[in-house]
């Protein structure tokens, strides 16, 4: 199978609001100090299987720490992607 990901939308999220909902204990497990997060975005992406067949859409949060962006896998929901390659 060939999978590709196309970002279809992104929006800024207020850091304070994000941190109120975030599981900071989980972030700590990943070595992330919540106080170091300076920006947050919610990104929508289409996962495409094969040539042109849209398989699923997912939303992920990305956080900026220092000069780098990271996917917050503590909030990303991926179950819609599991059946793509069956």
Distance CA 74, CA 76 (A): 6
Residue 9 has pLDDT above 90, yes or no: yes
- Please indicate, yes or no, whether the overall pTM of this predicted structure exceeds 0.85: no
pLDDT digits over 41-86, tens only? Answer: 999 988 887 776 767 888 889 999 999 999 888 887 777 777 666 5
Residue 33 has pLDDT above 80, yes or no: yes
pLDDT at 40: 96
Which of the 8 DSSP states describes residue 62? E
Mean local confidence (pLDDT), 26-44: 91
Distance CA 63, CA 76 (A): 12
Q: Do the Cβ atoms of 62 and 71 come closer than 8 Å?
A: yes
Whole-number Cα distances in Å, 6 to 41, 72, 74: 16, 18, 21
């Amino acid at each position: 199978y060939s999978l590709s990901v196309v970002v279809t939308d992104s929006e800024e999220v207020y850091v304070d609001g994000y941190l109120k909902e975030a599981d900071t204990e989980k972030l700590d497990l990943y070595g992330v100090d919540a106080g170091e997060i300076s920006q947050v975005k919610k990104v929508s992406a289409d996962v495409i299987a094969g040539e042109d067949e849209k398989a699923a859409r997912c939303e992920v949060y990305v956080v900026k720490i220092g000069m780098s962006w990271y996917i917050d896998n503590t909030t990303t929901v991926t179950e819609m992607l599991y059946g793509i390659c069956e």
